[in-house]
């Protein structure tokens, strides 16, 4: 095996071990308001419904009934400001969404006809759609069952939308997002040095071959 093949295999292995896929999770655990400073809060336009849509409950730690887990989801497009009260349109930060390869979450809805859910890629093209059935509940509309939905995409995940009167009727929980491997800056530097070394080797070989003469 020549030096070029060895170098290529070495750098391919180096990149494979240095660039790891990242997995982000969000279970809206206590303290509940902490989700706003984590990835789902910073990389999307998601809001706590009880904060964005209900001015009488400005406490970011408020989740509704005491036994509720998860987030009553809103996109912050408040009907009080002339926005669309019903639908929820969640968009990820463009750079973050471009890296996403998969996304899953548990969903509970109080809508008798179910909640229509659509995922789209970074170009706004539909990835998949679901009809989330109405969830069984206990008192004060505390869901006793969730439905899991998941998607994968080779063109990033731009976000998702719930149509109909989803705001105030939809809870999400146990979010999991996976991003594609991205080489670290040190990895890129090593790759550039490696390619430079391979280029120098090729130039030396070319120079040596040009000085050989046959009798």
Q: Are 187 and 99 within one domain?
A: no
Q: Are 164 and 212 within one domain?
A: no
pLDDT reported for residue 62: 84
Q: Are 188 and 171 within one domain?
A: no
In this prediction the pTM is: 0.76
Instruction: Tell how far CA 42 is from the center of its chain.
Output: 11
Residue ranges in the chain whose pLDDT is less than 50: 4, 6, 8-17, 81, 188, 208, 212, 214
Of 139, 112, 117, nearest in space to 129 by CA: 117
Q: Are 125 and 208 within one domain?
A: no
Residue span of the structural domain in which 86 resides:
21-179
Q: Are 189 and 146 within one domain?
A: no
pLDDT reported for residue 177: 98
- Distant-in-sequence, close-in-space partners of 183: CB < 8 Å, separation ≥ 6: 15, 18, 19, 191
Q: Are 168 and 199 within one domain?
A: no
Buried residues in 59-94 as b, exposed as e (16+ CB within 10 A): ebebbbeeebbbbbbbbbbbeeeebeeebbbbbbee
H or E segment at 15?
helix 3-18
How many domains would you assign to the chain? 2
Q: Are 144 and 197 within one domain?
A: no
Q: Are 74 and 6 within one domain?
A: no
What is the bridge-based pairing of β-strands 170-179 and 71-74?
antiparallel
pLDDT reported for residue 20: 79
pLDDT reported for residue 61: 86
pLDDT reported for residue 130: 97
- Distant-in-sequence, close-in-space partners of 47: CB < 8 Å, separation ≥ 6: 73, 74, 75, 76
Q: Are 127 and 201 within one domain?
A: no
Q: Are 198 and 109 within one domain?
A: no
């Amino acid at each position: 095996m020549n030096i070029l093949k060895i170098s290529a295999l070495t750098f391919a292995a180096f990149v494979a071990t240095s660039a790891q896929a990242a997995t982000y999770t969000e279970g809206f655990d206590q303290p509940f308001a902490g989700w706003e400073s984590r990835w789902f809060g910073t990389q999307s336009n998601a809001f706590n419904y009880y904060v964005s849509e209900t001015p009488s409950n400005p406490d970011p730690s408020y989740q509704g009934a005491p036994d509720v887990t998860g987030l009553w989801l809103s996109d912050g497009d408040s009907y009080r400001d002339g926005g669309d009260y019903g639908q929820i349109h969640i968009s990820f930060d463009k750079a973050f969404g471009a890296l996403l390869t998969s996304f899953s979450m548990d969903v509970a809805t109080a809508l008798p006809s179910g909640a229509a859910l659509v995922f789209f890629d970074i170009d706004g093209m539909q990835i998949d759609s679901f009809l989330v059935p109405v969830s069984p509940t206990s008192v004060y509309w505390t869901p006793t069952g969730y439905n899991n939905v998941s998607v994968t995409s080779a063109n990033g995940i731009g976000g998702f939308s719930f149509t109909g009167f989803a705001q105030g009727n939809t809870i999400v929980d146990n979010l999991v997002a996976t991003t594609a491997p991205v080489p670290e800056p040190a990895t890129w530097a090593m790759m550039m040095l490696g390619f430079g070394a391979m280029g120098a080797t090729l130039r030396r070989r070319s120079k040596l071959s040009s000085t050989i003469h046959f009798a």
